[in-house]
Amino acid sequence: MIFHQKEIQLSPFKRGFHSITKELIDAFPEISTIEKGFFKVFIKHTSASLTINEDADPSVRVDFESHFNFLVPENQSYFVHTYEGSDDMPAHLKSSILGSTVEVPITNGKINLGTWQGIYLCEHRNIGGSRKLVLSAFGV
């Protein structure tokens, strides 16, 4: 079994959905050593998340931000966890709806995404700062 693991820190992103596919691949050339396996990304935060979606037209990511604000509005009357700002509790909820991990199969030394797929960093805070990711690649 081959197992690579690396922790990286992203530059801060503004609130919204951002494609980080190329940045991740460039940061992890070890993927090329694996014939069959998985590439995995884990985010060490509870107010930002990861997802895989359409990586061609940036307007998709604009609509993601709008619709997640519709699904999880700020200042809901029943929120009790409010002392870290109106964007904090919605950020926690959005993070769990989307998830803290994404994974992609590796086939012949390359990540095996579909034609239109890419990896998004989903920054749910107004000022989220620099986010830490654990990259892993394993297989044979």
> Residue numbers of the site for a copy of itself (CB under 8 A)?
1, 3-5, 7, 36-38, 40, 42-46, 51-54, 57, 59-60, 62-64, 66-67, 70-72, 76, 78-81, 89, 92-93, 95-105, 107, 112-117, 120, 132, 134, 136, 138-140
Torsion, CA 83, CA 89, CA 91, CA 93, rounded to 10: 160
Q: Which is nearer to a copy of itself, 11 or 70 (CB)?
A: 70
Q: How far apart are the first and last CA of the chain?
A: 5
Smallest distance from a copy of itself to CB 23, Å: 19
- Exposed/middle/buried for residue 29 (C-beta within 10 Å: 0-12, 13-18, 19+): exposed
Smallest distance from a copy of itself to CB 134, Å: 4
Q: Which is nearer to a copy of itself, 23 or 93 (CB)?
A: 93
Smallest distance from a copy of itself to CB 95, Å: 6
Smallest distance from a copy of itself to CB 128, Å: 13
d(CA 22, CA 72): 29
Residue type, 119: I
Q: Which is nearer to a copy of itself, 14 or 71 (CB)?
A: 71
Report in angstroms the alpha-carbon separations of 18 from 7, 51, 127.
19, 10, 15
Q: Which is nearer to a copy of itself, 11 or 80 (CB)?
A: 80
Residue 23: phi and psi, rounded to 5, are: -60, -40
